[in-house]
Amino acid sequence: MSTEPNAAFQGNELSPQDRAAEEMVNRSPFMFEHPLAYHPLFDLGRLARLAEVAIQKGSADQYLGVEEQQLSKSERTQRMLDHIAQLNQGMHWLKISAVNTLSPEYDELLQAFLGQVEAVTGWPVRANITWAGLDVFMNSPNLQVPYHFDHDSNFLMQIRGEKDVSLFDPNDRAVLTEAEIEDYYRGNKLAGRYRDELNSVGQRFHLSPGFGVHHPPLAPHLIRNGSEVSVSAAFYFILPGQERVARVYQINHFLRKLRMHPRPPGQSRLSDWAKYAAMESFSNPHPRTYDERLYSGVNRVASAPKMMKQVAQLLHRH
């Protein structure tokens, strides 16, 4: 195994076994092999040092799954280091977001991954994405991650330990409702509601080191870690089409608050484009984080509801 980030993704590691990757990326979940099992960049000691950098560069809730804003940076750092050291004994769900912004080695790894996606799909991903990133998860044994879904195209790679991932069809409105999607895009990251009838409709994937699973955008999922400490990495990106759909849902949320009945995405190209342009105009054109890219417009409109009434009048004819 090469320790050089640029050499990590070579060949067709992302291709599923049964069908070509270009037929499945962003459409269906699939397992794939990857070369990052026990990679030194994801050693717990290395990640502990990276967590220190994360806390020094920004707030804890931006980079870490532990939200302790009342603590000083030194106190948050020590708490995080303690949690990493105690992973095997506790019930800790730890996350370092956007590690590609914290160290050039992780950014090289992300860029190599994006090159691999281009190689196996034929898509000019890097020329078109609106956002890309690499997050790292460190979980205690037997920990279950709450049912949820995400905005991005996600490739979850298991590096240490094992886990079971159950993925559900985001296009099935019996699984994922329009109301849940709209709620997610207005800022509720746990908008997905798990129901007993979903037990029989999900696809389960067992991940061990060297294996990963692709999550299409908005695919709800449940994750249960195995009996050992788990380390995994999520490589993700956002394409313009995903961004346009998100903006439509965001505008619809505010129109609904004005007692209007907006059409969901896909029913009118003109309406969708007008809604996208409106919400994009409220969004920060130079976001520093993933959340800022996705939610800055929503937060701005929520703080100035008069703007939304003006937008509603402009959109009414669509």
What string of pLDDT tens digits covers the 318 residues of the chain? 455 665 567 655 677 766 777 789 999 999 999 999 999 999 999 999 999 999 888 744 434 444 555 678 888 888 889 999 999 988 888 999 999 999 999 999 999 999 999 998 889 999 999 999 999 999 999 999 999 999 999 999 999 999 999 999 999 999 999 999 999 999 999 999 999 889 889 999 999 999 999 999 999 999 999 999 999 999 999 999 999 999 999 999 999 988 889 999 999 999 999 999 999 999 999 999 999 999 999 999 998 877 777 777 767 655
Going by C-alpha positions, the residue among 236, 258, 244, 234 that lies closest to residue 306 is: 258
pLDDT at position 177 is 96
* Ranges of CATH 2.60.120.10 domains, the chain: 5-238
Q: What is the CATH number of domain 5-238?
A: 2.60.120.10
pLDDT number for residue 57:
83
